Chain A
């Protein structure tokens, strides 16, 4: 693998890592396979597109806003659409999140149509060279920002009271409830946080790639693989899973052809499920 390819895979991996963490937290800790996750990521992209077009605010700044907005949306969805259905089991939460995806998809189609959109910031074309490899500036920035956000998420989960509460319900729900942790509140915050991470990913994504409603399915396919590779609900696991998937895809495209790259990821996912159900480096959180 050439140096340039390594750099490309690494830069893509940073974005995959951030994208996978939100989904993995929602699934692993709140226990919800969020089929609307791709829609939430795209909402992040489209929201930053509006802000960019109307107020000319850079996506790297507007991501604070899109993140906050999607946090609220995630909290709303959890509280009113998911929490009442938890007892019904996996069929209900899957179908409801799929229904939310349909609604969001419809809204996007109505407002922006199915065309591909892009956000072209003024420094979009610039790049720099380091150790003989090209670093496109926007890709490098997204990688950096993704790294910072992942680190902050980890700090939040381990060093704040709420974060510790979330970890506690994830590890031992009954025990956490017995010492006075409000489990549903923790699940809600965790789910909202996952949605916000998805939205921020969408905003960052928009600075590099063009996007359309079709991207939703691509995203969902990727985050499943990343979450399973890393072990559900595990932040560093998902980060590693994201980078690993980026490397698999990049090298797969070169060695066996880009037609097969999707199948390679899926086959690896199924093998991990069967052989190491807690992820390649993950520890067991639930079920």
Chain B
């Protein structure tokens, strides 16, 4: 049994490493258009991974989570305008997002279910309004710019492609380690039954706030890179709830509560909506809406979730059979 599991584990690792290597060299073979699409996919997979940690694993749907994306983007822009290099600006932006998540987390994570989701929407709206009105610092409602990178667009796009790819890979690895650790069992117990989790010795408040801070960390880095990539950001763009609704759809399609789910979901949704955009742009929104409803109805556990369910059920069937033949 142990060796079999080990073999499977090794095979999976080899597959993942192979996939990463392919994606590292992929930009040499595709056009700038596709490089941009892939960069967006990696970014969405990262955000979806964070939503998945909060919702898929812990049961708290952070609908206004895009606030950390916006904070990451704006803090990076402000710090870089002050002359800081990007490798200092983004980590500092990320730090500020973590601080905000901890300060907001203690009161707001006391709310459960609907109330938590709505309170985060309210907070996002409030932060967006502050950014819109603090014109001297943020540039106000009309947005702000990043310093321009002195290089050819081709090189720049590849640079952001690789940045988002590494962000996605690192995020996914960290999530994998987190959910399979002792702390991760705490997270999952909170979704399963928060009161029981508390009475079993899990510090639920600490676990929830820390988890939100982890989710804020990666979302804010994605925001920082996104802003630098776009070189121009506006409040109603980087605080747009569409980022979160898209990420939720990706999580559901890929499979909530699985690590590969958000990645697959991001690939599927971005590809579908790209086709919808280019193919029949006028019906693009409706197509997305109908696709979402169809998926929620027919593959509620998502692609990866459905597959792992099948595997588990087969294992149980096999163990039942073995029991029968043994007895």
Interface residues of chain A, those whose CB is within 8 Å of chain B, are 27, 33, 81, 84-85, 88, 90-92, 94-96, 98-103, 105-107, 109-110, 221, 224-225, 228, 259-260, 262-263, 266-267, 269-270, 273-274, 277, 287
Contacts and interface: CB of A to CB of B under 8 A. Distances in A.
B118 A228 contact: yes
A273 B115 contact: yes
B80 to A, nearest CB: 26
B129 A266 contact: yes
Contacts of B121: 224
- The listed residue with most A CB atoms (<10 A of its CB), out of B114, B283, B284, B293, is B114
A90 B285 contact: no
A91 B293 contact: no
A107 B283 CA distance: 8
Contacts, number: 118
Contacts of A33: 114, 117-118
Given A102-B288, A221-B125, 20 more contacts: A90-B61, A91-B61, A92-B300, A98-B289, A98-B292, A99-B288, A99-B292, A100-B293, A106-B289, A110-B282, A224-B121, A224-B122, A259-B132, A262-B129, A263-B129, A270-B123, A270-B126, A274-B111, A287-B113, A287-B114
A221 B241 CA distance: 12
B83 interface: no
B108 A105 contact: no
Contact of B111 (A95, A99, A105, A277): A277
Q: Which 10 A-B pairs have the closest CB atoms?
A: A263-B129, A102-B289, A106-B286, A99-B289, A106-B285, A103-B289, A99-B292, A270-B122, A266-B122, A266-B125
Interface string B284-316: 111011101100110010000000000000000
A102 B256 contact: no
Q: Chain A contact residues: over half helix, strand or loop, or mixed?
A: helix
- The listed residue with most A CB atoms (<10 A of its CB), out of B55, B132, B290, B296, is B296
Contacts of B289: 98-103, 106
A273 B61 contact: no
Contacts of B110: 274
B297 A103 contact: no
A7 to B, nearest CB: 27
Contacts of B202: none
Given A266-B122, A273-B122, A95 B296 contact: yes
